[in-house]
Amino acid sequence: MAKKQRSELKSTGYEIFIGILSILSIVNIFLLYLLRDPALDQVIEVMNAIFSAVFLIDFTYRIVTAPSRSAYFFRHFGWADLLASLPFPQFKILRIFRLVRVYRLLRKVGIRTVGRTLIRDRAGSALYVLLLMGVFVLQFGSLWILRVEEHAPGANITTASDALWYTIVTISTVGYGDQYPVTQLGRIIGTVIIIVGVGIFGTFTGYLATVFLGSPKTESGEAGEAPAAEVPTAEVPAAAATDTAAADIAATDTTARDATIERMRILLAQSEANLAELRQLVDSGLGR
């Protein structure tokens, strides 16, 4: 099998996933200036730290698999990817260069081709959608529940740590019960998080089933199926070969049978000749 050619642009789903995370990280920069709440700002800072780790892994993956590392780093904004991955607020705006890469992808292959690719790779697309849903619910669920609950009487979700912990536990459908909303709006938000969490884990379970229990793919790319174009081509020669083999076997059997009969005739003739000679000898001996 030929070695897969390296490319700066990765799979369609992966590029879109990184692009959406870049947009969200840029939106978080403006949210820090709009919210003006230390607890809410801490939630965004935690999410930005997670994004920085993801972008650093993405930079490492790109530079390792790039056709030319120097070209990627200097001409294709690799330096911007590296700086934007660092946990410094001054460099986060450089994540806009990742959006330029997504635009290049869409312009290169076309929106229709992108849609067909995502539909064809349903398992991979489901995984990226699952990850994005988890990120969005974790961030905005934590922000909303904290905004509603932090100043309510008798509230136990009052810090960024409380909100993030409650959201993670609720998404995972574990539900320890140590953190819970006490307001009516907070309970509605918690209900939405529970429903979305069930959907996320259901999708994740289906993805794992597809990966570990699915049929192995053939060279044509379809799981457990032979290429459609090859089926009729394979059937016709097989039938012809079967008929030819049967004819050859029949001809061989006829020839072998004729040869056996001929040998039997020869042996019979030889036996008759030997018997005749034996009679002559016996007659000669009796005559004496």
Q: What is the 3-state secondary structure (H, E, C) of the chain?
A: CCCCCCCCCCCHHHHHHHHHHHHHHHHHHHHHHHHCCHHHHHHHHHHHHHHHHHHHHHHHHHHHHCCCHHHHHHHCCHHHHHHHHCCCHHHHHHHHHHHHHHHHHHHHHCHHHHHHHHHHCHHHHHHHHHHHHHHHHHHHHHHHHHHHHCCCCCCCCCCHHHHHHHHHHHHCCCCCCCCCCCCHHHHHHHHHHHHHHHHHHHHHHHHHHHHHHCCCECCCCCECCCCCCHHHHHHHHHHHHHHHHHHHHHHHHHHHHHHHHHHHHHHHHHHHHHHHHHHHHHHHHHHC
**Which pLDDT belongs to residue 281?**
62
Check pLDDT > 80 for residue 31.
Answer: yes
Is there a contact between 86 and 52 (Cβ–Cβ < 8 Å)?
yes
CB atoms within 10 A of CB 157: 27
Q: Which residue has the higher pLDDT, 119 or 24?
A: 24
Evaluate if residue 230 carries a pLDDT over 50.
Answer: no
Residue 215 CA to residue 7 CA, distance in Å, equals: 29
Q: What is the pLDDT, as a whole number, of residue 229?
A: 43
Q: Sorting pLDDT into bands at 50, 70 and 90, what band is 225? A: very low
Residue scoring higher pLDDT (53 or 3): 53
pLDDT of residue 263: 72
pLDDT at 2 over 50: no
Amino acid at 27: V
* Tokens describing residue 104: 């290049």
Per-domain residue ranges for the chain?
A: 7-120, 123-214, 238-288
> What is the predicted pLDDT for the residue at 287?
55
pLDDT-derived band at 222 (thresholds 50, 70, 90) equals very low
* The pLDDT of residue 221: 46
Q: Give me the percent of the chain exceeding a pLDDT of 70.
A: 76
pLDDT per residue as tens digits for the range 131-153: 899 999 999 999 999 999 988 99
- Mean pLDDT of the 61-86 span: 85
Do residues 148 and 186 lie in contact, with contact meaning Cβ atoms separated by under 8 Å? yes
- pTM summary value: 0.66
Q: Which tens digit of pLDDT belongs to each residue from 9-18?
A: 677 788 888 8
pLDDT at 252: 65
pLDDT in tens, 76-96: 778 888 888 887 777 877 888
Cα–Cα distance measured from residue 44 to residue 143, given in angstroms and rounded to the nearest whole number = 8
pLDDT-derived band at 70 (thresholds 50, 70, 90) equals confident
CATH architecture of 123-214: Orthogonal Bundle (1.10)
